[in-house]
């Protein structure tokens, strides 16, 4: 069965998108990403370390851009202007690459998104030709506005970035998914495999995570668990779950032919 | 000539310098990076023909691990 994730006209086998931060080293980053099966990986844009030695390895040596679809983010940006500036640099850095993850934060303690600045940035970026996957609050009205602006995917939080608290408001996610004509991916807050499976069972097109894998005791094993969880959740969604029935038992075995 | 690179002042014993020469003098040749001069992106194709002058503010960025 062909069930591909389609974002901005390109298709992907994997519905798990992963970050590349917080790993022990680049070798562990690579091993975890291989285990996750992810094809889209997020990266941050930061000032180059000027003093570094010429032969020092970089993230790109371990994750060649020819092998993965890079998703440069605007982590750490608190204004629309900073986010737009960062992604224009990212586009130059990655040879005209258009697919980006927009996130404009509102508060350093919670990393909760500032949706007013996010919307302002999204308008500029879409007009500028970017394919914008946008990190957002789980507000269905905001999500719809981001779609109307022309974003190629909305990515509501399950819970706060790096919190591992899981899916706190499945009902809002369901409304967002039901209203959307573009992919909805859960981004942020997933803590363990069951959280990822639940997101997919709700009908999300994919899940983006970083800390849940990188901060696990064994990141590579957790990456493998997440791969399976996303696949299992997707299949369960497509299969259509049985209705829940309270106090109306229905045995799976025949009720006839019992020995007397 | 003094330039501000990634927020820090740096002195160069020349009056002018191309972006290409700057990249070489910082041992960043061959690295995948993007450069902004006074808030404007300098496309890679323009490195050799873009001359820097006293007081220019540069941002040199690369991709790092992140979510």
Is B36 touching A (CB cutoff 8 A)?
yes
> Interhelix angle for A140-149 vs A115-127, to 10°?
20
Is the residue at B34 inside a domain?
Answer: yes
Domain assignment of residue B10, given as a range? 2-62
Is the residue at B23 inside a domain?
Answer: yes
Residues of chain A positioned with their CB less than 8 A from the CB of B46 = none
The reply to whether residue A43 touches residue B66, judged by beta carbons under 8 angstroms, is yes
**The total number of structural domains that make up chain B:** 1
- What residue ranges in chain A does DSSP mark as E strands? 5-7, 10-12, 16-18, 40-47, 69-72, 99-102, 131-136, 153-156, 185-187, 206-209
The reply to whether residue B64 touches residue A94, judged by beta carbons under 8 angstroms, is no
Is the residue at B67 inside a domain?
Answer: no
How far B20 CA sits from the closest chain A CA (Å)? 15
The reply to whether residue A19 touches residue B66, judged by beta carbons under 8 angstroms, is yes
Check residue A54 and give its pLDDT. Answer: 62
The DSSP call for residue B45 is G
Is the residue at B30 inside a domain?
Answer: yes
Is B41 touching A (CB cutoff 8 A)?
yes
Q: Per-residue pLDDT for chain B (67 aa), expressed as one digit of tens each? A: 999 999 999 999 988 899 999 999 999 988 899 999 999 999 999 999 999 999 999 999 999 999 8
The band of A148, judged by pLDDT with boundaries at 50, 70 and 90, is: very high
The mean pLDDT of A124-145, rounded to a whole number, is 98
- ipTM value for the complex: 0.94
Is the residue at B31 inside a domain?
Answer: yes
Check residue A164 and give its pLDDT. Answer: 94
Is the residue at B7 inside a domain?
Answer: yes
Check residue A52 and give its pLDDT. Answer: 64
CATH number of the domain that residue B26 is part of: 3.10.20.30
Is the residue at B56 inside a domain?
Answer: yes
pTM of the model: 0.92
Supply the mean pLDDT for chain A: 95
Is A252 touching B (CB cutoff 8 A)?
no
Is the residue at B9 inside a domain?
Answer: yes
């Amino acid at each position: 069965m062909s069930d591909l994730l389609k974002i901005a006209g390109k298709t992907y086998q994997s519905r798990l998108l992963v970050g590349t931060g917080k790993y022990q080293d680049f070798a562990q980053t690579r091993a975890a990403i291989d285990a996750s099966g992810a094809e889209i990986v997020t990266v941050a844009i930061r000032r180059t370390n000027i003093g570094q030695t010429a032969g020092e390895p970089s993230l790109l040596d371990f994750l060649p851009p020819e092998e993965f679809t890079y998703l440069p983010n605007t982590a750490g940006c608190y204004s629309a202007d900073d986010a737009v500036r960062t992604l224009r640099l990212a586009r130059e850095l990655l040879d005209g690459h258009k697919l980006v993850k927009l996130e404009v934060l509102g508060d350093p303690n919670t990393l909760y998104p500032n949706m007013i600045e996010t919307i302002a940035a999204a308008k500029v970026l879409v007009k500028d030709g970017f394919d914008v996957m946008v990190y957002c609050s789980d507000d269905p009205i905001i999500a719809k506005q981001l779609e109307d602006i022309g974003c190629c995917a909305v990515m509501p939080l399950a819970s706060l970035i790096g919190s591992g608290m899981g899916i706190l408001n499945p009902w809002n996610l369901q409304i967002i998914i039901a209203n959307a004509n573009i992919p909805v991916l859960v981004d942020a807050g997933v803590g363990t495999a069951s959280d990822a499976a639940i997101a997919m069972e709700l009908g999300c097109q994919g899940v983006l995570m970083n800390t849940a894998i990188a901060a696990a005791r064994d990141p590579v094993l957790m990456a493998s668990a997440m791969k399976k969880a996303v696949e299992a959740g997707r299949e369960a969604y497509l299969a259509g779950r049985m209705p829940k029935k309270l106090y109306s038992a229905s045995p799976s075995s025949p009720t006839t032919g019992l020995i007397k | 000539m003094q330039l501000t690179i990634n927020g820090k002042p740096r002195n160069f014993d020349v009056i002018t310098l191309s972006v290409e020469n700057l990249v070489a003098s910082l041992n960043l040749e061959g690295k995948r990076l993007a450069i902004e001069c006074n808030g404007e992106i300098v496309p890679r194709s323009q490195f050799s023909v873009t001359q820097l002058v006293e007081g220019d503010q540069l941002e040199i960025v690369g991709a790092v691990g992140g979510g």
